[in-house]
Structure 1
Amino acid sequence: MKQFDSKNDEVGQELHHLKLAESKGSHLWDVLSLPTRMDICIRAGYYDTAYLLTNYGVQLQTYGLTKNPIIKRVADKLIDARYQLLDELFNRFAGPIDLANSIQIINNIRKIPYLSSTQLRVMILQYRDVYLEKRLLDIRPDFILRMVEVYRDCMYDTMVLYLAVFPENEISRRQMDSSLDQRWDIWQTATPSVILNEWAIHNFDVMFNRIK
């Protein structure tokens, strides 16, 4: 009989917790809504807030709250959303750039520990090349003359941005994080000027080949 009463009390406590969780004032609903809020922040350009939400997912793991499967699902979604956030941030460089805004975007990217400094430089240059190719596709008459102008303008803007955010004396170091994606470990470090020089030479080669 005592065992029955004990089990009955446990069931009663669990039902009480469920009722609290189901109530509109429960903080559980706030936690469950975080992945949706994260998506809204990314699409609306609230990158600082989006990053804070991904960090909250890491904190849920750090403090052992992910033992609860529901909380774990929320934390996993918040942390995985870092990839979506990175895509959104990098895509901003596949269009016209404003120096001040671009510097802020790069600072947001640097907060995310999935990329080494070398990868960050290379990927920004790659996305700038995407924009350059878009500009070339829009050229109709006087292709050769206008192509040279497009290369000049795009490369100049890119080099100004690159030199502003990646000074030559910058210390190359990897941000350490427990959620670091090990797939990035194959990348080697390189000085900022080497990467920029190789990028410029490659683009000049492509441009001259098109002129031929």
Structure 2
Amino acid sequence: CRNFMRDAEEIACSRRMNSLTLNRHTEILEILEIPQLMDTCVRNGYYEEALELAAYVRRLERKHRSIPVIQGIVDEVRQSSQLMLTQLIQQLRSNIQLPACLRVIGYLRRMDVFTEAELRIKFLQARDAWLRSIQASIPDEDPYFHITKTIEACRVHLFDVITQYRAIFSDEEPLLPADEQPLHEGAIFHGWVLQKVSEFLRVLEGDLQRGVGGRLDSLLGQCMYFGLSFSRVGADFRGQLAPIFQRVAIDAFRKAVEEAVEKFQEEMNSYTLISAPAVLGSSVAAAVPTAQPGSLQPPMVLLDFPPLACFLNNLLVAFNDLRLCCPVALAQDVTTCLEDALGRVR
């Protein structure tokens, strides 16, 4: 009889549990379907709903941490959250505009997986990866084409990234008191901007060394406009452009003068005073033009000495090329180079 009573109580208890489960069937089913619903929301880009589900699962975990089914649901939701995190960061690696950036950073902040400093670093890393992909897609066979497109891409896209960063993150007020703040978040951004400017200057110097023909003045104007546009965000780097263009201009002038000297020496090896001036051809017999008042003209007597006339023409070509981009700081270097060349042709 006692065994019967015990079995009856167990059956009654089991029946009550089954009845309770049946009555709560809808709520239990909703909880069990949370991982699938979370995965669907993440894959379809419904991040707002996915964050609400993740917050609800965290509350469940705090209340029913010991239940194996709840723990399994928590693990699956965490996997979906990791997928959402990857998708959000991947969006920052694309051509994303400011409103979308604000939404993505808002989602990342609500996920609470990064500190404020880490979030800034992640944002800059993702936008930097996208910017590098833009620069890598520019053909580099022609140095002039490569540097002009690089200037355009950096001026437009880098300025957009800086604008996005300043709109999303505020460096005016620290998030923590000075004694609790582990680092100065503003230094992260300023360091990144300095890095991008330094990289651009290296690319500029490399392409200028490869040679851009006689278009140095055009590049200087574009670079100065680039630097001027960055002055609006406190990153004016025009002062660093002058030394680069000075080196390129004086190197081009020295090379042209050296070639003029070498050509003069080659012609002098085969020139005699009784030889015909074959280098200038019919120009010797042509009528001598009259010099305009106040203008500087080479003496016409040079036509009797073709090697010297050719040397003078090459020097004038070098000066004409230098005139397109001639910093005043090069006066001493140009004078020294010209004096050395004239000393070698005496």
What is the TM-score of this pair, normalised by structure 1? 0.80
8 Å contact from structure 1 (residues 54, 81) kept in 2: no
Distance 1:49 1:17, change over 3 A: same
Distance 1:100 1:6, change over 3 A: same
Write the deviation string for residues 104-157 of structure 1: whole angstroms up to 9, x where unpaired.
Answer: 221121112221100000100000011112212322262222122222222111
Segments of 5+ residues of structure 1 without an aligned counterpart are: 174-187
8 Å contact from structure 1 (residues 103, 165) kept in 2: yes
Residue in structure 2 matched with residue 43 of structure 1 by the alignment: 43
Q: CA deviation at 1:75?
A: 2.0
Between the aligned partners of 1:20 and 1:106, the Cα distance in structure 2 is: 43
Q: Kindly report which structure 2 residues correspond to 1:95-106, keeping only aligned pairs within 5 A, or say none.
A: 95-106=94-105
Residue in structure 2 matched with residue 26 of structure 1 by the alignment: 26
Which of the numbers 179, 182, 194 marks the counterpart of 2:187?
194
Larger relative contact order, structure 1 or 2 (CA cutoff 8 Å, min sep 6): 1
Q: Does 1:203 align with 2:200?
A: no
Write the deviation string for residues 51-103 of structure 1: whole angstroms up to 9, x where unpaired.
Answer: 1111111101122x232211221023224433322222221110112212211
Which of the numbers 168, 171, 179 marks the counterpart of 2:171?
168
Q: Kindly report which structure 2 residues correspond to 1:3-18, keeping only aligned pairs within 5 A, or say none.
A: 3=3, 5-7=5-7, 9-11=9-11, 13-14=13-14, 17=17
Q: Which moved more, 1:162-171 or 1:21-30?
A: 21-30
Distance 1:107 1:9, change over 3 A: same
Distance 1:84 1:170, change over 3 A: farther
Q: CA deviation at 1:3?
A: 4.3
Aligned-partner SS, 1:203: helix
8 Å contact from structure 1 (residues 57, 79) kept in 2: no
8 Å contact from structure 1 (residues 136, 150) kept in 2: yes
Q: Which moved more, 1:73-82 or 1:48-57?
A: 73-82
Distance 1:69 1:169, change over 3 A: same
Write the deviation string for residues 152-201 of structure 1: whole angstroms up to 9, x where unpaired.
Answer: 2221111101111111223325xxxxxxxxxxxxxx84334311110011
Residue in structure 2 matched with residue 107 of structure 1 by the alignment: 106
Q: Which amino acid aligns with 1:158?
A: V
Q: Which moved more, 1:142-151 or 1:21-30?
A: 21-30
Taking only aligned residues, the RMSD between alpha carbons, in angstroms, comes to 2.6
Greater gyration radius: 2
Between the aligned partners of 1:14 and 1:210, the Cα distance in structure 2 is: 77
The count of residues paired between Structure 1 and Structure 2 equals: 197
Between the aligned partners of 1:16 and 1:134, the Cα distance in structure 2 is: 64
Segments of 5+ residues of structure 2 without an aligned counterpart are: 207-346
Distance 1:169 1:112, change over 3 A: same
Residue in structure 1 matched with residue 155 of structure 2 by the alignment: 152
What is the TM-score of this pair, normalised by structure 2? 0.51
Q: State the identity as a percent.
A: 22
